[in-house]
Structure 1
Amino acid sequence: MCGICGIFNPNGLDDADREAIGPMTAVLAHRGPDHSATRLDRFTALGHTRLSIVDIEGGAQPMDNEDGSVRTVFNGEIYNFEGLREDLIKRGHTFKSRSDTETLVHAYETYGYDFVFKLRGMFAFALWDAANRRLILARDRVGKKPLYYTRAQGRFLFASEIKSLLLHPAVPRRLDAHSLHHLLSFQNVPGQDTVFHDIKKLPPAHYMIIGVGDSNPRPYWSASSIKVEKFYQAREDTLRLQKVIREAVRRRLMGDVPVGAFLSGGVDSSAVVGLMSQLSDQPVRTFSIGFDDPEYDETNYASLVAKHFRTDHTEFKVTSSELMECMPLLVWHCDEPAPDSSILPTYCLSRLTREHVKVALSGDGGDELFGGYERYVADRYLHAYNYIPEGVRRNLLVPAFSMASHSVSENLARKRLEQMARFSPMSDAERHLNWLAFFTAHEKNALYTPELAAELSGYNSADVLQYYYDRFDSNNRSFTDQQLLIDFLTYLPETLMMKVDRASMAVGLEVRCPLLSKEVVELAIATPASLKIKGATTKRLLKQTFWNFLPPEILYRRKQGFEVPLNSWFRGPLREVLWDHLTDARARSRGLFNLVTVRRLLNEHQNGVRDHGHKLWILLNIEFWHRIFMDGAPPASRPALV
């Protein structure tokens, strides 16, 4: 894995461009600590930092074709590069390395723009065609690797991380208020936008050509075009799925460095580890992380799987203070506020894993592809209420669920009934959003200052999801199939893949996701949701696929999730951090949030009236982000810890 950046100035590079490319590259050193280089010609400046995985000695970048007319900087892995290489050699190309990177320049020469269709892997790259004065950018199908870009004063700039772009003096730093509005709901900024005005991200499964008339992103693959197959046979389905996942794991064991795996003890990571153990002639190196709070600790399940497959298992324990001291550092690595608090343990796990291996496989993607979230079960029933008139739902169902919630003592059951009361009057898109959101539309309006509320008037985050529900064919996809696909297209790349990339690349660790291979993804999307979720059983097809392979304690355990104890932290050791950062003069001067509402959230949380841990986490992230990225000079180095 690597870091890439570059500048294309159609008028010719100027002094600002030539001076900026060095710092733009250097700030990405954590992504590629093994080597860095820049290359300039009349119109382009390309920068690259390398994490050496394949062809350690010969894979340095930027990399050219035979005559230097095509040049690339590449981040990721191409798992089918050996087959492409053989075909390209037969067509007369000469290779000077064993790396997958060199395949890109020759594939472009041979296949033209269609070469991106042939790639299997995780990637983000830029390719400069000097003869035609064109710059081509592309990103993998799922969005595992990030790629940002902006246009500033006649030039085009791109980078793996936003902080690199900010080091060019032509790039302004301005908050996009509409993106902040969506971030408070989605835990990410959806679509092509970022929290920085005029800085965009290239969407997954897209490429763009700069230097021709139309330079807008173009899709080269579409998950929504995959039809759901109506007729399946259980045994054939599970055998085919296991075969496809096994091949995806096998391909991701490639490389010239040690490979290990994250092991949480859930079905997804356990299945990946089990297949790795079958494909490896030595014990698999596995890594897990646990917390000082037993309610959030899953290491007993991970240990069970490690013993079952006889892995070489390493277990780490971290405290709340160790996790939270990383927070400003992770905001710097993310470039945007990081609402998903599980980035903290993901970072700590990556940092400790990196002490042993350079590459780790993970089970990411299983929940979105195979129906792993419990909200899918609840939402099937809530969706059926759409056929009941809205007035009846609001006047009868809401009071009924509300009364039921007061009659149960078990916390989770009460929480679920409260959610049913709140969600039953909503549309599908509104419910989908509110399952994810920490701030509702009403709560956001109360949080904003009057000036910000006026600026954002009329913007409804649910409209982003409504676009997808309107677009999908309900004749081909059931309601749950639509939900899964929407999460695959939005929540997975924007929240989960971003988290994994930033947490792992912060320490120079490459994470590979077999369940997100093109073949597994297409098979999963084509499989009807009725086979994935039955009754209250989530991820049913995946569990059936590995029922005689995984321990029963793993197959039938309740999904826990990779969470951290925010509520107790913010009532205990981090109480002062919250108050100091959310209510001081610097925070008040930003003109974003109503101090009365912020103080109410703090007081209610501290007094145990309500749990606002996730809301306060987001607000604290936003304030850290302002201090790191918006106050003072562009951040060229890592910030101090808390």
Structure 2
Amino acid sequence: MCGIAGKIFFGNKDVDKSEELPLIKKTLSMLYHRGPDDEGYIIDRNVWLGATRLAILDLSSAGYQPLVNEDKSLYLVFNGEIYNYLELKDKLKGRHKFKSQTDSEVLLHLYEDYGVECLKYLRGMFAFAIWDRRKRELFIARDRLGKKPVKYYYNDKFFIFASELKAFIDHPNVPKEVDPIAIDLFLKMGYLPSPKTGFKHIHKLPPGHYLLVRPNRDVVVKRYWKYDFNERDDWTENEWKQVIEEKLIESVKFRLRSDVPLGIHLSGGIDSGIITALSSSISKKRMTTVSAGFDEPFYDELPYAKKIANIFNTHHHEVIIRPDIIELLPKIVYQFEEPFADPSMLPTWLLMQESRKHFTVVLNGEGGDECFAGYPWYQMMKVYSFIKPQQARNLIIGLLKYLYFFTHYKDFDTFAKYLAVLNEDKINNSIIKKMLEDLRVYLPDDLLVKTDITSMANSLEVRSPFLDQEFIELAAQIPLNLKLKGFQTKYILKKIALKYMPKDLVFRRKKGFLPPLDEWFRNKLSVYINRELSDKRFNKLKIVSDINIQKLIDNHLFYRSNNAEILWRLLCLNKWFEVWIDN
């Protein structure tokens, strides 16, 4: 894994080394956390490329970046892992001489043979840039699902990019202007969909896309991959179980390739449980697992994680998340650099921090919910379709809110909100469409951003077997009734999981990985949330009126509604302005 960056000057302007060298060094220093093992850069007339390296494969100096091909016509900076690099290398050996055991060198020669078509051969997570000296063209690409980021800015004088915008946002002639449309999207979603970043004119390259940049100011963005939900109905349930399991085993095998210590994030759910089971079976070494939990039993899944760890005899480690983690919020907001408010960013941050003490590469169960309809809103869409007419839906929403007020049971409020959203948007009640939306937006712009930022801030590489390109394409063909059977989510995956885990663990109620913000804001963090959201500077922005903020807080305190989500978004936005705009 690495941090990558680069710049191309338009027209006939060459790099002014007296001006750019200090900026290159500053850029790489801002990406140090993504690659603490080495850094390097090259300058070629009007272009420079730089990288910081976290060594995972071939720890020798042969893997230092930027990489150059045999005739020095191509330069590469690369962030990520190409899991099928050994297989690709075998096909390239007859035409190229390899000086390292890295996957990045395989990528460089693959581009040399196939140009931009090299993307269709790659199985992995990646963001990379290749400067083609013959074509005088900069080629930048991002993986299909969006696991590795690329952010960029350009004007009529230059184009600049990096893994993180903090690497270039303070450069001369890069404007630091808030994007009000992005702020509006953030308050609705809690994160920013591509290409938004929170700053005007600074963009995220969307997943499954590449960029071509030429000195004549030509900047072209193209899509090279998209999802295809064409179900196939010619396989029986047992055939599907066999095919899914075989493909997942293959995916795990690829991701166990590493020259540094490797472990597993074990949540206590079936996704990470299956990954732990398969990794333990495939690997000749005893696996190391890390889990995070909470003091509040309603939210804590550590007992389940420990049971799975005991089944597979792993070296198991745990970390407890407590309200004092809020003290880290300014640091976390700085690392995320965009407005971002997925509450699980808090426990994920400490999970990554603890993990880095034990290994440099970690496998997780991310993607299981997207592949197998695991989210509760898919169930609620089914419920919604059975409740008619509209008046009955409104009555049920009111009843759920009433029950929440008197019982303080969070699920009543959660279900009421799901039904209310379905009412408001009048969405087409299509679970397939919702799954596609989650794969295209929620996964890359929320979940994978959270994983990338929190892991790379701690110099840790995260690999997700469920998000293997070929596995995702296979899962898209599984009939919906084998994913969501009745109201049973992940139906066929749970059938497979029974081979490795006891029934009580497979079919238990899922708690998720959200911290108990609702309880914290009513108790240990009640003074904190009042103080932060009454901040005069924040109120001057007029995003929400003083009266409405206080009403949100009061209604939350007295259980009239669970406003933890919007209060958290406002808090994160306040900190974002404080860290990124005021400073």
Distance 2:410 2:518 in 1: 16
Q: Which residue, out of 118, 121, 132, partners 2:121?
A: 118
Assess, with a 3 A threshold, how the Cα gap between structure 1 residues 213 and 157 changes in structure 2: closer, same or farther. Answer: closer
Is the deviation greater in 401-410 or in 37-46? 401-410
Match in the other structure for 2:457: 506
Query: Aligned letter for 2:509?
Result: R
SS of 1:188's equivalent in the other structure is coil
Instruction: Give the C-alpha shift of residue 333 in structure 1.
Output: 0.8
Distance 2:464 2:572 in 1: 27
Consecutive unaligned residues in structure 2, runs of 5 or more? none
Match in the other structure for 1:3: 3
Assess, with a 3 A threshold, how the Cα gap between structure 1 residues 605 and 75 changes in structure 2: closer, same or farther. Answer: same
Distance 2:423 2:449 in 1: 33
Q: Are residues 1:54 and 2:57 paired? A: yes
Q: Which residue, out of 392, 395, 401, partners 1:399?
A: 395
Q: Are residues 1:66 and 2:62 paired? A: no
Match in the other structure for 2:34: 31
Query: Aligned letter for 2:73?
Result: S
Instruction: Give the C-alpha shift of residue 336 in structure 1.
Output: 1.2
SS of 1:302's equivalent in the other structure is helix
Q: Are residues 1:599 and 2:550 paired? A: yes
Q: Which residue, out of 483, 497, 506, partners 1:532?
A: 483
Assess, with a 3 A threshold, how the Cα gap between structure 1 residues 341 and 103 changes in structure 2: closer, same or farther. Answer: same
Assess, with a 3 A threshold, how the Cα gap between structure 1 residues 494 and 420 changes in structure 2: closer, same or farther. Answer: closer
SS of 1:490's equivalent in the other structure is helix
Match in the other structure for 2:219: 215
Instruction: Give the C-alpha shift of residue 88 in structure 1.
Output: 1.7
Assess, with a 3 A threshold, how the Cα gap between structure 1 residues 255 and 407 changes in structure 2: closer, same or farther. Answer: closer
Tell me the C-alpha RMSD between the 2 structures: 2.0
Match in the other structure for 1:618: 569
Query: Aligned letter for 1:70?
Result: L
TM-score normalised according to structure 1 size: 0.86
Instruction: Give the C-alpha shift of residue 404 in structure 1.
Output: 6.7
Instruction: Give the C-alpha shift of residue 602 in structure 1.
Output: 2.6
Q: Which residue, out of 248, 257, 261, partners 2:260?
A: 257
Match in the other structure for 1:17: 20
Distance 1:317 1:61 in 2: 38
Is the deviation greater in 372-381 or in 418-427? 418-427
SS of 2:63's equivalent in the other structure is coil
Assess, with a 3 A threshold, how the Cα gap between structure 1 residues 263 and 400 changes in structure 2: closer, same or farther. Answer: closer
Deviations 1:334-355 (A, max 9, x none): 1112210101111101111101
Match in the other structure for 2:322: 319
Distance 1:591 1:400 in 2: 34
Instruction: Give the C-alpha shift of residue 303 in structure 1.
Output: 0.5
SS of 1:543's equivalent in the other structure is helix
Assess, with a 3 A threshold, how the Cα gap between structure 1 residues 397 and 83 changes in structure 2: closer, same or farther. Answer: closer
Answer yes or no: is the 8 Å Cα contact 2:380–2:419 preserved in 1. no
Query: Aligned letter for 2:317?
Result: T
Consecutive unaligned residues in structure 1, runs of 5 or more? 430-468, 470-477, 633-642
Match in the other structure for 2:158: 155
Query: Aligned letter for 1:250?
Result: K
Match in the other structure for 2:368: 366
Instruction: Give the C-alpha shift of residue 483 in structure 1.
Output: 1.6
Assess, with a 3 A threshold, how the Cα gap between structure 1 residues 574 and 403 changes in structure 2: closer, same or farther. Answer: closer
Q: Which residue, out of 79, 90, 93, partners 1:86?
A: 90
Is the deviation greater in 622-631 or in 584-593? 584-593
Assess, with a 3 A threshold, how the Cα gap between structure 1 residues 615 and 412 changes in structure 2: closer, same or farther. Answer: closer
Q: Which residue, out of 412, 415, 425, partners 2:413?
A: 415
Distance 1:22 1:414 in 2: 53
Q: Are residues 1:521 and 2:523 paired? A: no
Instruction: Give the C-alpha shift of residue 226 in structure 1.
Output: 4.5
Query: Aligned letter for 1:303?
Result: K
Instruction: Give the C-alpha shift of residue 197 in structure 1.
Output: 0.6
Assess, with a 3 A threshold, how the Cα gap between structure 1 residues 564 and 191 changes in structure 2: closer, same or farther. Answer: same
Q: Are residues 1:378 and 2:329 paired? A: no
Distance 1:620 1:424 in 2: 26
Instruction: Give the C-alpha shift of residue 370 in structure 1.
Output: 0.4
Number of matched pairs = 576
Deviations 1:564-617 (A, max 9, x none): 011222233333432333222321333433222122223333455433222111
Query: Aligned letter for 2:180?
Result: A
Distance 1:298 1:413 in 2: 17
Which residues in structure 2 correspond to 1:155-304 (within 5 Å)? 155-211=158-214, 215-223=219-227, 225-304=228-307
Distance 2:421 2:448 in 1: 28
Answer yes or no: is the 8 Å Cα contact 1:139–1:207 preserved in 2. yes
Which residues in structure 2 correspond to 1:331-350 (within 5 Å)? 331-350=333-352
Query: Aligned letter for 2:209?
Result: H
Answer yes or no: is the 8 Å Cα contact 1:16–1:168 preserved in 2. no
TM-score normalised according to structure 2 size: 0.94
Assess, with a 3 A threshold, how the Cα gap between structure 1 residues 99 and 600 changes in structure 2: closer, same or farther. Answer: same
Match in the other structure for 2:494: 543
Instruction: Give the C-alpha shift of residue 401 in structure 1.
Output: 4.7
Distance 1:255 1:403 in 2: 54
Assess, with a 3 A threshold, how the Cα gap between structure 1 residues 186 and 232 changes in structure 2: closer, same or farther. Answer: farther
Q: Identity rate of aligned residues, in percent?
A: 36
Distance 2:133 2:395 in 1: 67
Match in the other structure for 1:133: 136
Is the deviation greater in 26-35 or in 37-46? 37-46
Answer yes or no: is the 8 Å Cα contact 1:397–1:424 preserved in 2. no
Assess, with a 3 A threshold, how the Cα gap between structure 1 residues 407 and 621 changes in structure 2: closer, same or farther. Answer: closer
Distance 1:219 1:413 in 2: 40
Query: Aligned letter for 2:82?
Result: I
Higher relative contact order at CA 8 Å, sep ≥6: structure 1 or structure 2?
1
Query: Aligned letter for 1:112?
Result: G
Answer yes or no: is the 8 Å Cα contact 1:23–1:167 preserved in 2. no
